[in-house]
Structure 1
C-alpha cells in the first residue's frame, strides 16, 4: 500500500476519522514514498577502531606526509528529503508516522523508535565501545553513524526533543553525518516543537544550530495544525484507576479492601494468558550490567510496584525503558498526593509513564485521588500524604493561568497549567501536562483492549533472572 491507500482504508473501516488537515499531509507522505521506491542507499563502511583513536601531533604529521592520494569517486546520489512533522498534543502526528512506517518499501531497512529510547541506546553503545577497547578518548560518533546507516536507511523518531547538553552535542555530529549523502539516511520525526525551537535556551545552543540547519535542509518541515485533539474525543472509560470516594479515608478498612480487590482483579486480567504458578516475587532484570528489582510480576505480561518502589529510588530512563520493554502491563499502588516537595518522584513517574505509553503498555493504579486532583500545594497535605485539609477545595483560582503558554499554545486546561507551574522550565511543564493527557487516554477501553504483542526478546516467566 501507499500511505494514501493505507489512510483511505483505515477511514473506510472506521479506524480513523477523515481529517482534512491530516489528509493534506498524506500528499507529502505519498511524494516521499514514491521517491523511496526508486531509492538505493549508499554503501557505508564501518570504520576500524584504529581510525577512531585520537591522533597525536607526530601521528598527524606522518599521516599527512605519507597519506595515499585520494581516489576520485563518484559524487553520492542526492538523498530524498525526509519529513519533520510538528504540532500540538493529540493532533495525529504519531498516527501519521506509523502509517507511513507501515508502507515503507520492503527493500529499505527501517527503524521506528521513541527519541528518548534512541538517545539511551546511543549513550549505552558509546560507553560499551569505549569499555571494549579500553579507550575513553575514542571518537565513537563515526562508528555509531555507520552502524545506524547500515541498520536503518529510514529512521523514524517519535517525540523528537532535545533538553540535555550531552544529548545536544552528541546529536550535532551524529545527525550531520547520518543526513549527509555519504550516509544517505532519511529522517521522519514527529515533535511538539518547530526545528528552530529545539534546545531553545539550552547550554551552548549555538553549537547545536548547525544540526538544526541540517534537519531543515534534509527534511520537509510540516506543521500539523489540526484543531482536533483526538485524546479529548469522548471514549468509554474503564475503571483502571481506583481512588477513594468523597468522604472515604484512604486508611479506612473499606478503601483498603477495595484497593486489594482492584489490584488482584487487574493483575488477573492482565495475566489472563499466563498460569498462576508463573507469578514471581523479587524478580530481577538486567539494566546496563546492574539488577533492577521487580517486587511482583508475571513475565512478560504484568509487573506490580508500589509508588515508592517505582519512583522513590534513583531510577533513570534506562530502567523505565527496560520495564516498558519487558512487560505489557503495570499495576502501581499507593500513589499519594504529590507536591513540589517530591518533585524528583514526580519527574520519575513522568519518565516511567512516557516509556510505558510509547510502548502502548497498560496501567492500573490505586491512588489518593484522580490524577487531575493528585498534585497539590505542600501546605494542603495532612500527615501521611493521603489526606488533605478541607480548605484545599476552596483554594486557588485557575483564571490566572489563562494566558499561560500551555493553555494558549498547546490547548491544555488552565487547571493543568496551574499544576504544571511546580516545575521551573518549559520542557518539564509541558512533559507534566502531556502526562496528564496520556493518563486520561490510557484509562479508555480503546487503550486497554488494544494490547500490544509480547516483545520477541522477552523470555517467559522463570527463563531469566
Structure 2
C-alpha cells in the first residue's frame, strides 16, 4: 500500500502545471466619431458599411483607426493591445485539429458503463490516480500548440467590448470565428439541445453535448463571448460540460471572453456552485486573465442628449390632452426618421423557437413599435428580444408606466430587452411616465393610475450606500444604486438592474443614435 502511495506522490511531484497570470491595466476607452446627421427633422442617414480588412494585426488596426480619427491615441489601450497582439501572432500559424463527428445515438449510460464497471480500484487509490490523470491531462494541454485565449474583465463602461471587437476584426482569415453575447449563446445552446432530442425521438438518455461541441468546432475556432456571466443553475451545468469538451486538445477552441466579473466571482452564491468551480479553473487555465482597472467610465463622459426619450414636463399629467398630443407627435416623428419613409406593416410574424412573435407595427428591417404592455406584459423571453434586436435597427416603446416591485416580471423582461438592444446596438425611442432614473418607485407611491404618483418618498427608503458594492466597486451612480436596492437584494439582480439604467443613459446619446448597426431585409 505504501509503495502505491509513494509512486503516486512521486508522479504528482514531477508534474509542472503552468499557472495563469493576471495582468492589470488602466486605460480610457474612446468612442468613435461620427459625422452622420441624426436630427429627426433632417433627412434619414445613408449608412455606409465600410469593411475593415482582416489582414491587420490588432496594433496595426488600432494605428489605422487612430490615423483616420476614429480613435484617439491612448497609451493605456496600447498596453492592453500588447496581449492581443501576442494572441494574434499565435493564431497566424495556428492549425486547429479536425474534430471527429460523434455518434449522437449512444446513451449516456453506454458511454460510461465500460469505464465504471469493468474494474474498480479502492476509493483512495482511485482518487490518487484520478489526480495523476487530471494533472497529466492539463500538462498535455499546455504542451499543445493551442494558443491561450483571453479573459478580459472590468467594471461597466471600461471598454472591454471595444477591445474585443477590434481583435475580432483581425482574426486571421484561415480561422473560423464567432462573436456572440453570452446570453444569446446560451439561448442557442439550449434551443439546439432541445432540437436534437426531438430529432432523435424525444430520447432523454442520449448525450447531446459531444455533438454540440462538434458542431461548435465546425463553425468557430475562435469564440468571442461578450458579457460572460452565469446566473442560472441550468446554464452553469450545461456550460461546464460544453467547455470541458471544446477546450480540450482534440477540439482546440480558443476562447476570448469579456466580463464584469473576475473568473473566481462567476456564478457567485449560485446553487450547486461547487460543481461549477472546476469550470472556472479550466477557464483560468486556458486563458490569460486581464483586469481593466479603468479610472474612466466612458458612458459618463458628457455627450449631446438626443430627444429620442420623451417624458412629460414637470406638472403635466401623462394622460392629459396636451401630453397625449406631444407623445403622438414624438412617436410619429421618430418612426418616420427610423423607417426612412418605408411602408408601415401591421402584425408581422417573426419565428422564435418554432413559434410566432407578433410585431404590431413595423417597417422591416428599419423599425418596430410596441407598447410597454405588448413588449413586457406578455410572457416573452430572451430569445424573443434577441430576435427583435437582430431583426430591426430601431425599436420604439410607448407608454412605459411607473414601475414597482409588484411588476417584478415586467421589470425583468424590460432589463432583458435592454440587454439585447444594447448588445446588438439597436436604437431606441420611448415615451414614459418619467425619466428612467425616477420611474422605479415604491408601490404606495402609485397614484390614481400607473402613470401618476400620489407622492414622492424616495428619502424614506432604508438604504445604506456607504458599503454598497455597486457604488464602491463598480462605480454606479448613487441614485442608480438606490433604485437597484429598491428592486432587488440579490447581487446579480441588482447588478443587472443598475447596468440597465446605466446603459439607458448611453443609449439616449446622439452618438448611440448615429452609430447604429444596419440590418438587412429578409
The two structures share one fold, judged by TM-score above 0.5:
yes
Give the TM-score taking structure 2 as reference length.
0.82
Corresponding residue number in structure 1 for 2:470 = 406
Instruction: Choose the corresponding residue for 1:140, options 208, 220, 231.
Output: 208
Kindly state the Cα deviation for residue 9 of structure 1 after the two structures are TM-superposed: 2.2
Distance of 2:373 and 2:178 partners within structure 1: 35
Residue 373 (structure 1) aligns with: 438
Q: Report the equivalent of 1:179.
A: 247
Question: Secondary structure, in 3 states, of the residue corresponding to 1:86?
Answer: strand
Please name the residue that 1:304 is paired with.
Answer: 369
For residue 353 of structure 1, what is the aligned residue in structure 2? Answer: 418
Cα distance between partner residues in 1 of 2:463 and 2:243: 43
Q: Supply the distance in 2 between the matched residues of 1:127 and 1:453 (Cα, whole angstroms).
A: 31
Q: 1:45 aligns with which of 100, 108, 116?
A: 100
Q: Which has the larger Rg?
A: 2
Measured after TM superposition, the shift of residue 22 of structure 1 is: 2.4
* 1:109 pairs with one of 145, 170, 176: 176
SS in 2 for 1:162: coil
In structure 1, which of residues 315, 325, 338 is the aligned counterpart of residue 403 of structure 2? 338
Equivalent residue in structure 1 for 2:188, among 121, 128, 134 = 121
> What's 1:2 paired with?
57
Residue 275 of structure 1 deviates from its aligned partner by 2.8
Contact 2:463/2:482 (8 A) holds in 1? no
Q: How well do the aligned residues superpose, as a CA RMSD in angstroms? A: 2.0
**Structure 1: segments with no counterpart, 5+ residues:** 66-74, 460-465
Change (3 A) 1:256 1:290: same
SS across alignment from 1:231: helix
Q: Is the 8 A contact 2:228 2:259 kept in 1?
A: yes
Q: Is 2:91 aligned against 1:36? A: yes
Residue by residue, what CA displacement relative to the aligned partner does 1:391-419 show, whole Å, maximum 9, x if unpaired? 44x73479831321100000011111110
For residue 322 of structure 1, the aligned residue among 387, 395, 403 is 387
By how many angstroms is 1:226 displaced?
1.3
Which residue in the other structure is 2:351 paired with? Answer: 286
Which of 420, 426, 431 is residue 491 of structure 2 equivalent to? 426
Separation (CA, whole Å) in 2 of partners of 1:52 and 1:152: 26
Report the 3-state secondary structure (helix = DSSP H, G, I; strand = E; otherwise coil) of the residue aligned with 2:197.
Answer: helix
Aligned to 1:162: 230
TM-score normalized with structure 1 length: 0.91
Deviation per residue, 1:300-342 (Å, 9 max, x gap): 1111000011101111111111111111110000001111111
Say which is worse superposed, 324-333 or 10-19, in terms of deviation.
10-19
CA contact (8 A) 1:399 1:414 kept: no
Q: Partners in 2 of 1:321 and 1:307 — Cα distance? A: 17
Aligned residue among 217, 220, 224 for 2:288: 220
CA offset digits 1:330-383 (Å, max 9, x no partner): 000000111111111010000001001100100000000111111111111102
In 2, the alpha carbon distance for the partners of 1:53 and 1:266 equals 54
Name the SS of the counterpart of 2:496 in structure 1. Answer: helix
Contact 2:102 2:210 (8 Å CA) reproduced: yes
> Aligned with 2:299: secondary structure?
coil
User: 1:22 touches 1:224 (CA, 8 Å); kept in 2?
Assistant: no
Partner of 1:452: 517
Inter-partner Cα distance in structure 1 for 2:456 and 2:118: 76
Report if the CA contact (8 A) 2:94-2:145 is conserved.
no
Q: Aligned-pair distance for 1:81?
A: 0.3
Tell me, yes or no, if structure 1 residue 256 matches structure 2 residue 324.
yes
1:229-248 aligned within 5 A: 229-248=297-316
C-alpha contact 1:22 1:226 (8 A) present in aligned 2: no
1:201 aligned to 2:269?
yes
Q: Deviations over 1:411-443 (max 9, x none)?
A: 011111110012131111111111111111111
* Higher relative contact order, chain-length normalized (CA < 8 Å, sep 6+): 2
Distance 2:342 2:481 in 1: 45
Deviation at 1:237, TM superposition (A): 1.0
1:179, CA displacement in angstroms?
1.1
The SS at the match of 1:270 is helix
For 1:152, the equivalent position in structure 2 comes to 220
Q: Aligned to 2:279, what secondary structure does the other structure show?
A: helix
Q: 1:112 to 1:130 in 2, by over 3 A?
A: same
C-alpha displacement of 1:10: 2.1
Paired positions, count: 443
